Amino acid sequence: MPVTTRASRPQTKKVPRQTSVSKPKVIILAGPTAVGKTALSLILAGSLPKVEIISADSMQVYRGMDIGTAKASWKERLAVPHHLIDIREINEPYNVVDFFYDCQARIADILKRGKIPIISGGAGFYLRSLLVGPPSGPPSVPLLRKKLEEECEALGTEALFKRLKKLDAPYAATISTGDKQKIIRALEIICLTKQPVSVFKPPVLPAYDWRCWFLSRDRKGLYERIEERCDEMLAEGLLDEVQRLKKEGLLLNKSAMQSIGYRQSLTFLDSSQTIADFAAYKEELKKCSRHLAKRQFTWFRAEPSYRWLDLDTYDLETAASLILQDYL
């Protein structure tokens, strides 16, 4: 049975009301893995008074997933308050709807205390929810989702689309026959609620003045940084971390066990662990991390709210001053 926590019941949550006449400013720092988001956010925290940082990383919410997610260090978190890090056990579910309500609550609280929120992370789907609202409907149920995914594999996406069209023709008309994720999610909502998807309305979003930045680097240089980070993670004990998390329930959390660094480590730990196996594991870890960065570039190119900031053209201090000038 999936673990249910108070934080995983978003239907009982509300978006905090905003009473200020002017729109409060909220900075978002997005970018691919290893680009320098954490370093830049800490420089900004040293330049702006009373900054608090909110993580927009789908895996940093889990306690124990430290090395593979490149969390800010304890020293850095003591110097600047960080939110949405270490708020779940490894066997507890967490999704974009949870993030939306948790992040909105943190933003409202930080602003209420007269401080400045900076949201930093590379989870494009999570960040999009802040700007346009979270996916509608109840939280996902892992067992039901798995059943629908298996049906999709066996019958094909088109067969499930035809089923959706019979159950909710108005919604089916808004998506394509090949949109596997939306089709499965729609059927999941209908199974759970016995209602069409169209009855679920997104929450009214607070009117924030979003200052959205996407941090980029030249691909060659970024890939070198990614490979260096992978080497550092291995040296810091990534495999030991994964072994420990496996005992604590990592395999019960599909999204966590499939995340970059953890999936490859689990595969290696199940191998004969020869020198050749380790070399293949190391190369696979680097390759998948590079591919993640490539997908992040692709995602944010389609996001109109972001201004791109090239960290090869501007060093971190200059980039921070540009963001600071814009904010002020």
Partners of residue 209 on adjacent β-strands:
25
Cα(228)–Cα(34) distance, rounded to whole angstroms?
9
Q: Which range of residues forms the domain containing residue 67?
A: 6-134+204-327
Same domain, 165 and 261: no
Same domain, 208 and 296: yes
Q: According to the model, what pLDDT value does residue 17 have?
A: 60
CA dihedral for 55, 58, 64, 67, sign (positive or negative): negative
Which of 181, 199, 217 finishes a domain?
199
The verdict on residue 62 lying in a domain is yes
Same domain, 159 and 119: no
Q: What is the pLDDT along the chain (328 residues), one digit of tens a residue?
A: 443 343 443 445 666 665 545 899 999 999 999 999 999 999 999 998 899 999 999 999 999 999 999 999 999 999 999 999 999 999 998 888 899 999 999 999 999 999 999 999 999 999 999 998 887 777 778 789 889 999 999 999 999 999 999 999 988 888 888 888 789 989 999 999 999 887 887 778 889 999 999 999 999 999 999 999 999 999 999 999 999 999 999 999 989 999 999 999 999 999 999 999 999 999 999 999 999 999 999 999 999 999 999 999 999 999 999 999 999 9
The verdict on residue 1 lying in a domain is no
Q: According to the model, what pLDDT value does residue 5 have?
A: 40
Cα(300)–Cα(183) distance, rounded to whole angstroms?
23
Q: What is the CATH number of the domain that holds 167?
A: 1.10.20.140
Nearest to 186 by CA among 136, 126, 125: 136
Tokens encoding 127: 């960040």
Same domain, 46 and 112: yes
Same domain, 168 and 108: no
Q: According to the model, what pLDDT value does residue 230 have?
A: 98
Q: How many domains does the chain have?
A: 2
Q: According to the model, what pLDDT value does residue 6 have?
A: 39
Cα(154)–Cα(76) distance, rounded to whole angstroms?
48
Same domain, 184 and 215: no
Q: According to the model, what pLDDT value does residue 15 have?
A: 63
CA distances 287 to 226, 262, 284, 300, Å, are 9, 14, 5, 20
Same domain, 60 and 184: no
String of b and e for 100-125 (b: at least 16 CB within 10 Å)? bbbbbbbbbebbeeeebbbbbbbbbe
The verdict on residue 105 lying in a domain is yes
Q: According to the model, what pLDDT value does residue 311 have?
A: 97
Q: According to the model, what pLDDT value does residue 7 have?
A: 41
Same domain, 195 and 209: no
Same domain, 212 and 195: no
Q: According to the model, what pLDDT value does residue 2 have?
A: 41
Q: What is the CATH number of the domain that holds 213?
A: 3.40.50.300
Same domain, 237 and 261: yes
Return the number of other C-beta atoms located less than 10 Å from residue 317's C-beta: 10
Same domain, 26 and 77: yes
E strands, 50-140, are 51-55, 82-83, 116-121
Which of 156, 178, 199 finishes a domain?
199
